[in-house]
Amino acid sequence: MSALDPRNTDLKKDLDATVRARGELGEEYDSALVDSFLEKVEQRIDDTVDRRVRRHLAEQRMADARGPRRPGATHSWAHRFGLAVVSLVLAVPLSAISGALAGVTGIVATWLGIVGVNAAQAVRRTPEPVTGRREGERSAQGG
């Protein structure tokens, strides 16, 4: 809001009126005057927040109406390839450490974790094979 905003002008007038009323009524009314002014400020804040939330929701609805933005095939492929390479690079030392500490059980647990991370990433990027629906779609029951 700018200094010339009419809402700022109204708030300034309210503050001036509160200060003048305090001078006329005396200190015994301080609490009531301050409470009254703070209620006006709180209402202003509530109105501003409500307006911003409505604007954000409207923008979100517009974005949803346009449809989900899916990463391009190259972008998605690059991410999957990068994760696969990092997984394999980290798999060697992780396997060695887990094998030394826990034997075959540790190696199996390590590889289950590696496979799980890659599977979760694959499902997150392309949920159609697992869920039967495209990313961004919702079920008819509101899910």
**Rounded to 5°, angle at Cα 124 from 121 and 127:** 125
Give the pLDDT confidence score for residue 109 in this predicted structure.
92
What are the structure tokens assigned to 111, written together? Answer: 């590889």
- Token match 């990313």: residue? 135
How distant is the alpha carbon of residue 47 from its chain centre? Answer: 22
- DSSP three-state, residue 142: coil
Question: CA-CA distance, 87 to 101, in Å (whole number)?
Answer: 20
- List pLDDT tens digits, range 37-65: 888 888 888 888 999 999 999 988 888 88
Burial class (CB in 10 A: 0-12, 13-18, 19+), 7: exposed
Give the pLDDT confidence score for residue 91 in this predicted structure.
84
Give the pLDDT confidence score for residue 142 in this predicted structure.
47
For helices 30-66 and 6-25, give the axis angle rounded to 10 degrees: 160
Are 136 and 68 in contact by the 8 Å Cβ rule? The answer is yes
| pLDDT confidence band for 112 (50 / 70 / 90) | very high
CA nearest neighbour of 134 among 92, 125, 41:
125
Domain ranges of the chain: 6-66, 73-131
